[in-house]
Amino acid sequence: MEQQNDEFAIDLLELFYVLRSRIVIIILTAVIFAAGAVAYTHYLVTPMYASSSSVYVLTNKNMMVNYSDFMVGTSLTSDYMQMVKSYTVLDSVIKNLGLEEELEVEDLDALVSVSNPTDTRMLNITVRYNDPRIAKEIVDELAEVSVERIKEIMDVQQPNIYEKGRISEYPVSPSMKKNVLIAGLLGALLAAAVFIVLYLKDDSICTPEDVEKYLKLNTLAAIPMEAGSAEQIRLDERKRIGKRKSKHKRSSRKENGGGDSL
């Protein structure tokens, strides 16, 4: 068992050296992926802007609100959240703003989110749209239509609009930094995965340790090859071939010259 663990540790060490020897390619791949993410985010993704409005839910017209009223109002906020995104409310907002050509009810439903902070009777309505001005108009109209619909259907005091939407100067999505970071990490991981797969599939025997490990044989001797010796062998072979050609040319010239003199 201990021997298997040692072999496994050696494999991991070899894998580490393989990846380290390819670190330039891995980094270059990460940079290419990050650059692609920059181009994609900047040119192909439509920026989205958000605008939010807050509604305060009431259950009692009196100034004094007891604990029972507070608990009832808190429990009803879930119903109010569903009503804000109801088909009737969303359809009315689209018609009131004249957005029939740009939006369907299903499209607007995907752009609207409603939240209720814990232990409060506040409804936060947020609209995301590719135009910050239209996002503000939609969230304001949505708040107006919602409070009227809640009063009509729930038979309660009309909720108050605590805060209207504002025009956002900066988009909330996409996030350039997030996309670049994810793309860079993905590129590095993919490049490393390719080298790992190539390493695992390589069953060639390169070292005496490989002979002992895979063939179960002892290494009796090893013939070292100096750096550049293979290149030197190729150069020597070229020189020999060149000398043979030059001798052949000289002999051909002599034969041709002798023929002319005769």
pLDDT tens-digit map of 229-260: 555 555 565 666 555 556 666 666 656 655 44
Q: How confident is the model at residue 9 (pLDDT cuts 50, 70, 90)?
A: very low
Average pLDDT in the 193-198 region? 91
pLDDT of residue 93: 95
Q: How confident is the model at residue 57 (pLDDT cuts 50, 70, 90)?
A: confident
In order, the DSSP letters of 134-159 are: HHHHHHHHHHHHHHHHHHHHH-SPPP
The full set of domains in the chain, from first to last, is 2-44+174-205 (no CATH), 49-163 (3.30.70.1130)
Torsion of CA 73, 77, 78, 83, to 10 degrees: 130
What the block records as the tokens of 227 is: 């750096």
pLDDT of residue 246: 62
Q: What percent of the chain has pLDDT over 90?
A: 44
- Among candidates 57, 118, 64, which has minimal Cα distance to 84? 57
pLDDT in tens, 120-132: 778 899 999 999 9
* Three-class SS state of 2: helix
Q: Which residues pair with 141 in a beta bridge?
A: none
Q: What percent of the chain has pLDDT over 70?
A: 69
* Residue 144 confidence (pLDDT) above 60: yes
pLDDT of residue 253: 62
Q: What is the DSSP letter of 169?
A: S
As a whole number of angstroms, the distance between CA 11 and CA 19 comes to 12
Q: Where are the beta strands (DSSP E) in 67-144?
A: 112-115, 122-129
In order, the DSSP letters of 30-67 are: HHHHHHHHHHHHHHTSPPBEEEEEEEE--S-SSS---H
Q: How confident is the model at residue 159 (pLDDT cuts 50, 70, 90)?
A: confident
What the block records as the tokens of 52 is: 């939010």
CB 173 within 8 A of CB 135: no
pLDDT in tens, 79-101: 888 889 999 999 999 999 999 99
Average pLDDT in the 183-210 region? 85
As a whole number of angstroms, the distance between CA 259 and CA 247 comes to 19
What the block records as the tokens of 253 is: 């010239």
**168 contacts: CB under 8 Å, gap ≥ 6:** 49, 50, 51, 132, 135, 136
CB 27 within 8 A of CB 192: no
Neighbours of 55 (CB within 10 A): 25
* Residue 197 confidence (pLDDT) above 70: yes
* Residue 29 confidence (pLDDT) above 60: yes
Average pLDDT in the 146-170 region? 87
